[in-house]
A and B are shown apart, each in its own frame.
Chain A
Amino acid sequence: MELHANDKIIINQLQGGFPICEDPWSELEKKLNIPADEIIQRIEHLKNEGILSRFGPMYHAEKMGGGLTLAAMEVSHESFDEIAEIVNEFPEVAHNYARDHRLSMWFVIATETPEQVEDVIQKIENKTGIRVYNMPKLQEFFLGLKFEV
């Protein structure tokens, strides 16, 4: 889909800072110089087209008491699909990517409490017989999706 100039403004300007107030759209209308109804319609359209995956607050899982980690496994080519199926069956596995490395499977584990992360890792190791490398973030250095279109 071809992006309209106003779509680009919305994508570039609204990755953060959506006002938290009773009438956020009027505030944005002034800031972006685009009519409120048009902004709403464009966001709706961009969402429907899949260009925006979300609109709203982004929550920080660990701050709410949840557990979160990045895990990696060395999975052979032959057993890859089978292992992916076992790993993906866990509801705590949120994202899972194949990557071109000896450590070929990388997934995010999200749990309700931090203690449960270790538990899920144990279960995955038991079910697959493969070591799981647990790589939680120790420090975060800025997290801003700054895609410019």
Chain B
Amino acid sequence: MLAKQQQLEEVQIDEIDRKIIAATQQGLPLTRHPYNDVAASVGVDVAEIISRMKNMTELGVIRRTGVVPNHYKLGFKANGMSVWNVPEEKIEELGKKVGSIDFVSHCYERPRFLPEWPYNLFAMVHGKSREEVQQKVNVIAELLAQDDFGHQVLFSTKILKKTGLRIK
């Protein structure tokens, strides 16, 4: 488990990168030249902002740049966290399979807690209703077939807290 966690390796970023992160983690300004405005607030020229942000994208520090829709507002009001007990030795193959389904937004391997929590694969499924989520979960179950040793869907019943991630 520890060895696997280390796969999410930390990469080297410096003081200027951190300033760029601080200036953009709430978003880019919706101006005609957003990177110029970031450059002005960080205090370096725009070419440097662009090359550093491209570099951070290549390193995976920036996952992607674009818009993030609020699925709830778009009518995807049901969100089900589907959890699966799948054979450990096939987790990579199965995880990639499930993660590539277009209605799965996040797909992770997480540790089991035996005996009470045998589930090691998590796939977040969104739908317009619980029924729709359930149908989509059934599609995953069919795909996993004999490798599905058991699964559950945990529906969210209430958002208790939601704040963005803050990075200093």
Residues of A participating in the B interface, judged by any CB pair closer than 8 Å: 10-11, 14-18, 20-25, 36, 40, 43-44, 46-47, 49-66, 68, 70, 84, 87-88, 93-101, 103, 105-107, 110, 112, 133-149
Chain A residue numbers with a CB within 8 Å of B117 are: 103, 133
Bound-complex Cα distance A27 to B104 (A) = 30
**Beta-carbon contact of A56 and B167 below 8 Å:** no
Q: Which of A23, A63, A105 contacts B60 (CB 8 A)?
A: A63
Of the listed stretches B88-96, B132-140, B141-149, chain A binds B88-96
B17, closest chain A residue (CB): A64
In the complex, the answer to whether A53 meets B70 with C-beta atoms within 8 Å is yes
A101 to B162, CA, bound (A): 20
A26: shortest Cβ distance to chain B, in Å?
10
Nearest-Cβ distance from residue B33 to partner chain A, whole angstroms: 7
| B28 and A57 within 8 A (CB) | yes
Residue from B26, B96, B155 in contact with A100 in the complex, judged by beta carbons closer than 8 Å: B155
Interface residue from B7, B24, B60, B68 paired with A139 (Cβ < 8 Å): B7
Contacting residues of chain B (38-71) with chain A, CB-CB under 8 angstroms: 46, 50, 53-54, 56-57, 59-71
Q: Are B76 and A137 in contact, CB atoms less than 8 angstroms apart?
A: no
* C-alpha gap A105/B100 in the complex (Å): 28
B65 and A147 contacting across the interface, CB-CB below 8 Å = no
Q: Give the chain A neighbours of B26 by CB distance below 8 A.
A: 56
- For the complex, give the distance between the alpha carbons of A46 and B156 in Å: 25
Q: Report yes or no: B69 in contact with A62, Cβ–Cβ below 8 A.
A: no
**In whole angstroms, how far apart are the Cα atoms of A68 and B166 in the complex?**
12
Asked if A110 meets B108 with Cβ closer than 8 Å, knowing A16-B65, A20-B53, A64-B13, the reply is no
